[in-house]
Amino acid sequence: MNFVTPTIDWAALTPIIIVLGAASVGILIEAFVKSPVTRRTVQLGLAVVSLAAALGVVIAQWATLEGAGTVAMAGMLTVDRQALAWMSILLVFGILAMLLFASRDGGGAFTELGASTPGSLEEKLARRAGLAVTEVYPLALFAVGGMMLFTCVTDLVFLFVALEVFSLPLYIMVALSRRRRYLSHEAALKYFLLGAFSSAIFIFGVALVYGATTVTNLDMIGRGVTMIADADPILLTGAVMVVVGLMFKIGAVPFHSWVPDAYQGAPTPLTAFMGAATKAAATAALVRVMFVAFAPLEWELSWLIWAVAIASMLLGTVVALVQTDIKRMLAYSAVAHAGFILVAFAGLEGEALTALPFYLLAYGLGTIGAFAVVSQVRERAEDGGVGAEAVRLGQWAGLGKRSPLLAGSMALFLLSFAGIPLTAGFIGKFEAFSAAVAGGAWVLVLIAVLASAVAAFFYVRLIVLMFFTDAPEGAEETIAIEDSALTRTVIYVTAAAILILGILPAGVLDLFADASVLLVNAG
């Protein structure tokens, strides 16, 4: 047996190499730059510049792409327009998230010393010494790089590698909250255990699919599946397990149990990033797996899509109704949105390839914006300084009077989640539902629509609190509104983007329509 070294098309991989390379450089910076303040500045600069550079390269690749795209690494990677669209979405999320990470309000969102015991002397000393965990920037870069890889990998084993590349940094970062550290640790542990569990399911599914088809390349699986007698139990079980592994990352019911805890416990800027980017990357991978490898199994897998979509929408909305913690409420809303995303997969229509990038872009911008707002509303600590985030719903009462722009932006994000017209969320939902109706799944769309109506109730409840309820006595003393320039920038940029994408979406839809071709690579 002799191995042929695959020729690698380095040019096609440039954006990913830039991001992962910058992440590696960032690790070295950790070792060599002593002062925490300088380190933070350098890391932030490196992260933003590398992400922006990668975005520039992606745009250049988009402009110069010939034909359907490029196959790289012996068919393991495909850089087509669909992948470029997802990569640019992830890079935009990455840049916005880096700005949130860098915000210094209340001493920043991340702990001074991850290894210290909460409440210990060590922690106090670290705080006094002004230490800072600036590893979050390279870690986040690794995550973004892994996610970018996730969107263009066309081989199940390589897909698993990419999955781990972006998951591991997230597990670490979830544990790095500055405040409510035990909660953060618990969240990280849960996220890690369930994530490991889902990885195991995924890789077992890959093994079964390999057993049934003797290949791991998505396109070859797709061709192999058509040749195998239908309802091969090994192939079907494998396919279901692979899809379930991805559904874990999307956060769909019944694979959602990590979502509320991880969202609640993680440092809020990270929740913003994770909520937006993980979902987008996992959806991108699910698109490729479903459309390329398992398209012939559409009928056999449709019950799974339907059941999980309906369960996610119903459970997400109903449980969100009774939440009193704003981060948990948004987490359950994320679960419901996982259901809406899966609705677009019904029937595997080509429309979904335009609808899903748009939906995830709209949803991700809203998520980043909403969690950025959450990070601005703080409890006042006993010493008069700024404390932890005020996440109890009641603490948001009267925010509209105190800070109309902040509350107005939050209302806009919530309306976009609810899918009210003239926001990006509406166009996203419309596109997703169109894809499903094109696939004949109008019953599913009807359920989705009813779930949207219920969901609107809890989004509106927060708007009522912010605008129509008077703040309780003494709220001025107990609640502090932060005004961090970086975070505010992110909030206003995302709010403007939500409005523009809602009112004049034609340009972006055009781009994503161009992206609605998946390159099938095994020639």
Partner 1 sequence: MFPFLTVLVALPAIGAALLWALPSSALTRVREIALGITVVEAVLFVIMALQFDKGDAGAFQFSETYAWIPQIGASWALGVNGIGLLMVALSVILVPLAILAAWREDKIPARRRHYLALILLSQAFMVGIFAARDVFLFYVLFEAMLIPMYFLIGSFGGAQRRYAAVKFLLYSLVGGLIMLVAVVALYFAGPGGEQAFLTEGLTGTLDLTTTQERLMFVAFFLAFAIKAPMVPVHTWLPTVAEEARAGTTALLVAVLDKIGTFGMITLCLALFPEAAQWAAPAIIVLAVISVIYGALLAIGQKDMLRLVAFTSVSHFGIMVLGIFAFQATSVEGAALYMFNHGLSTGALFLLVGFLISRTGTADVDAYGGLQRIVPVFAGTFLVVGLSALSLPGLSPFVSEIMVLVGAYPVASVAVIISAISVVLAALYILLTYKKVFTGGVPADKPATTRDLSLREKLVAWPLVGLMLLLGFVPGIAIDYLREPSADVVAHVTLEEADA
Closest CB 421 distance from partner 1, rounded Å: 4
519 φ, ψ (degrees, to nearest 5): -80, 125
**Strand partners for 386:** 380
In the complex, what is the shortest distance from the CB of residue 97 to partner 1, in angstroms, rounded to a whole number?
A: 29
> Cα–chain-centroid distance for residue 155?
22
Among positions 62, 197, 204, 467, the unique one binding partner 1 when judged by CB under 8 A = 467
Q: Is 394 in the site for partner 1 (CB under 8 A)?
A: no
Choice from 206, 344, 370, 427 touching partner 1 (CB under 8 A)? 427
Residue 393 binds partner 1, judged by CB under 8 A: no
Give, as ranges, the residues between 29 and 88 that touch partner 1 (CB under 8 A): none
- CB hemisphere CA count around 353 (13 angstroms): 22
Estimate the crossing angle of helix 424-438 against helix 404-418, to 10 degrees: 10
Rounded to the nearest whole angstrom, what is the least distance from the CB of residue 400 to partner 1 in the complex? 9
* 434 touches partner 1 (CB under 8 A): yes
Asked if residue 110 binds partner 1 (CB under 8 A), the reply is: no
Closest approach, Cβ 479 to partner 1, in A, equals 21
Helix crossing, 326-343 with 298-321: angle to 10°? 160
Binders of partner 1 in range 247-276 (CB under 8 A): none
Task: Decide: is 513 part of the binding site for partner 1 (CB under 8 A).
Answer: yes
Q: Is 354 in the site for partner 1 (CB under 8 A)?
A: yes
Q: Is 450 near partner 1 (CB under 8 A)? A: yes
Q: Does 492 bind partner 1 (CB under 8 A)?
A: no
Rounded-to-integer distance, Cα 337 and Cα 169, Å:
24
Point out which span in 242-250, 255-263, 371-379, 500-508 binds partner 1 (CB under 8 A): 500-508
Residue 18 contacts residue 53 (beta carbons within 8 Å): yes
Under rule CB under 8 A, residue 501 binds partner 1: no
10 binds partner 1 (CB under 8 A): no
For position 433 contacting partner 1 by CB under 8 A, the verdict is yes
Q: What is the DSSP string of 26-43?
A: HHHHHHH---HHHHHHHH
Residue 467 C-beta: closest distance to partner 1, Å: 7
DSSP characters for 337-406? HHHHHHHTTGGG-THHHHHHHHHHHHHHHHHHHHHHHHTTEEEEPTTSSEEEE--BGGGGTTHHHH-HHH
Q: Distance between CA 96 and CA 492 in Å, rounded?
A: 11
The distance of closest approach from Cβ of residue 229 to partner 1 in the complex, given in angstroms and rounded to an integer, is 34
Q: Phi then psi for 423, rounded to 5 degrees? A: -120, 160
- In sequence order, the 6+-apart residues with CB closer than 8 A to the CB of 368 are 93, 96, 97, 100, 272, 273, 275, 276, 490, 494
Cross-strand pairs, 69: 80
Determine contact, residues 498/366, Cβ cutoff 8 Å: yes
Among residues 514, 499, 293, the alpha carbon closest in space to that of 413 is found at 499
88 token code pair: 């640019």
- Residue (89 or 441) nearer to partner 1, CB: 441
By beta-carbon proximity to partner 1, the closer residue of 10 and 457 is: 457
Select the residue interacting with partner 1 from 137, 332, 426, 458 (CB under 8 A).
Answer: 426
The reply to whether 415 sits near partner 1 by the rule CB under 8 A is yes
Please identify, using beta-carbon distances, which residue of 28 and 464 lies nearer to partner 1: 464
The size of the interface with partner 1 (CB under 8 A), counted in residues, is 34
Query: What's the closest the beta carbon of residue 297 comes to partner 1, in angstroms?
Result: 25
CA distance 247 to 254: 9
Q: In degrees to the nearest 10, what's the CA dihedral of 278, 457, 483, 44?
A: 0
- The residue among 287 and 355 lying less far from partner 1, judged by its C-beta, is 355
Judged by CB under 8 A, which of 420, 466, 475, 490 binds partner 1?
Answer: 420
Least Å distance, CB 104 to partner 1, is: 31
Span from 10-18, 266-274, 389-397, 438-446 in contact with partner 1 (CB under 8 A) = 438-446
Stretch of 16-24, 238-246, 413-421, 475-483 contacting partner 1, by CB under 8 A: 413-421
Both tokens of 100, joined, read 């949130």
For partner 1, which residue of 230, 476, 483, 510 counts as binding (CB under 8 A)? 510
The residue ranges that bind partner 1 (CB under 8 A) are 354, 415, 420-422, 426-427, 430-431, 433-434, 437-438, 442, 445-446, 449-450, 452-453, 456-457, 460-461, 464, 467-469, 504-506, 509-510, 513
